[in-house]
């Protein structure tokens, strides 16, 4: 188990190096974000402008030839074309008046600094990983009586999931911002769902811990003696119920994870396709594809580790030594995945800034 202590030390070292390098590339770049609001109006000028924009969008991005306007007329004189890239227009009747609504990206002056988010992620990583190294204690050590000791073989570690809850939502925001998914509401919901998913991971670990306790009690046949107040409940029934709860939590975690990365991947593909369809001379930098692919893979592996541990605890014959080893192995995997996911983001982000500074790609604003 001492190898896990050294893994945390190496992880803290890598995170510290990433922090130092990131500080050397300090950028004051602000990423502008917007809010999507439905604008309703009866003003004919605004309606005509919306129709003009809809027609220009169609003519530019649909690859369908359209006849030029005759006599310098405006696009409002013909019905807006339908196609893949079509502005959403909504007609409503209120108080005997007809309103035309169009969703508009509204600039309220909000922005964020991705570099500060990255520094925060690395500072938290160094603190928690170094703390786990210095507070490490083996499960069979008689001196491990303090609640502040890090004993990975003992069971769920709440503070590990606190670290992930403080860092992974910002990783999601940074990744989304790389390909211009910057609507405030969407970013907030994605970050909040990621934080909730991380905390759900701790709840799943608690359920795995309950499963281990009940399995050991069933196998040692001392359930009735240790829980006299619940003597009418059979150990087998409680074990089945615990497994059902664990399965439900795992399914929910996979659904939440799928929602987060489904939105990120689909929105990236749509944005990349839109750049090509709208006759732009450039395309999305390939490094963004690499970052999204690796981060999605690494984030998914957290769920794989948790699932493998749950399956092992649910169906394999258990002893105390096997339980301790299972928790330690899971902690080892989490430590490696965590530092890898963060360093991939650091390296990819610095690479993109280096490209921007060299003038090979426009700076994201």
Q: How would CATH label the architecture of 2-32+112-357?
A: Up-down Bundle (1.20)
* Interatomic CA distance for residues 18 and 42, integer angstroms: 54
Q: In this predicted structure, what is the pLDDT of residue 236? A: 64
Residue 321 token pair: 């030594």
CB 117 within 8 A of CB 191: no
Residues 192-236 have pLDDT tens digits of: 999 999 999 999 999 999 988 888 776 665 544 444 544 444 556
Instruction: Give residue 360's pLDDT.
Output: 39
> Cα 176 to the chain's mean position, in Å?
9
Nearest to 104 by CA among 187, 38, 152, 155: 38
CATH 1.20.1070.10 intervals, the chain: 2-32+112-357
| pLDDT digits 0-9 by tens, 36-59 | 998 888 888 888 888 888 888 888
Identify the pLDDT of residue 146.
Answer: 66
- Residue 299 is predicted with a pLDDT of 96
Q: What is the mean pLDDT of the chain?
A: 83
How high is the pLDDT of residue 53? 85
What pLDDT score was predicted for residue 329?
92
**What band does 275 get if pLDDT is binned at 50, 70 and 90?**
confident
How many residues are there in the chain?
365
pLDDT digits (tens, 9 = 90+) for 61-73: 875 444 444 444 4
Residue 154: which pLDDT band, with cuts at 50, 70 and 90?
Answer: confident
H or E element that contains 105: strand 97-106
Coil/strand/helix, residue 182: coil
Per-residue pLDDT for 274 more than 60?
Answer: yes
More confident: 185 or 364: 185
pLDDT for 73 equals 40
- The two structure tokens encoding residue 238: 């409680």
Q: What does the DSSP assignment read for 49-104?
A: HHHHHHHHHHHHHS----PPPGGG--GGGSPPPPSSS----EEEEETTEEEEEEEE
Task: Dump pLDDT digits (tens) for 227-256.
Answer: 454 444 455 678 888 899 999 999 999 999
Higher pLDDT, 141 or 12: 12
């Amino acid at each position: 188990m001492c190898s896990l202590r050294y893994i945390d030390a190496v992880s803290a070292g890598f995170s510290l190096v990433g922090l130092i390098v990131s500080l050397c590339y300090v950028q004051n770049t602000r990423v502008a974000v917007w809010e999507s609001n439905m604008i309703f109006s009866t003003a004919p000028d605004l309606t005509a402008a919306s129709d003009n924009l809809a027609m220009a969008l169609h003519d530019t991005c649909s690859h369908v030839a359209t006849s030029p306007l005759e006599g310098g007329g405006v696009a409002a004189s013909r019905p807006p074309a339908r196609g893949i890239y079509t502005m959403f227009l909504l007609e409503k009747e209120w108080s005997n008046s007809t309103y035309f609504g169009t969703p508009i990206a509204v600039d309220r002056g909000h922005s964020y600094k991705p570099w500060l988010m990255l520094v925060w992620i690395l500072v938290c990583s160094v603190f928690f990983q170094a703390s786990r190294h210095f507070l490490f204690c083996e499960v069979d050590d008689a001196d491990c009586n303090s609640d502040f000791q890090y004993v990975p073989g003992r069971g769920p570690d709440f503070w590990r999931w606190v670290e992930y809850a403080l860092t992974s939502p910002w990783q999601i925001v940074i990744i989304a911002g790389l390909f211009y998914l910057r609507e405030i509401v969407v970013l907030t919901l994605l970050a909040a769902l990621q934080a909730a998913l991380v905390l759900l991971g701790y709840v799943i670990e608690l359920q795995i811990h309950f499963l281990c306790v009940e399995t050991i009690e069933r196998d040692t046949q001392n359930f009735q003696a240790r829980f006299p107040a619940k003597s009418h409940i059979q150990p087998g029934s409680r074990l089945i119920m615990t497994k059902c709860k664990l399965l439900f939590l795992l399914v929910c975690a996979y659904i939440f994870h799928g929602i987060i990365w489904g939105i990120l991947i689909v929105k990236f593909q749509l944005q990349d396709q839109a750049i090509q369809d709208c006759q732009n001379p450039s395309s999305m930098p390939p490094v963004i594809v690499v970052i999204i692919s690796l981060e999605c893979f690494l984030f998914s592996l957290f769920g794989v580790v948790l699932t493998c541990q749950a399956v092992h605890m649910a169906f394999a014959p258990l002893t105390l030594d096997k339980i301790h080893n299972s928790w330690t192995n899971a902690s080892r995997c989490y430590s490696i995945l965590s530092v890898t996911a963060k360093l991939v983001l650091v390296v990819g982000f610095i690479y993109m800034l280096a490209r921007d500074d060299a003038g090979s790609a426009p700076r994201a604003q």
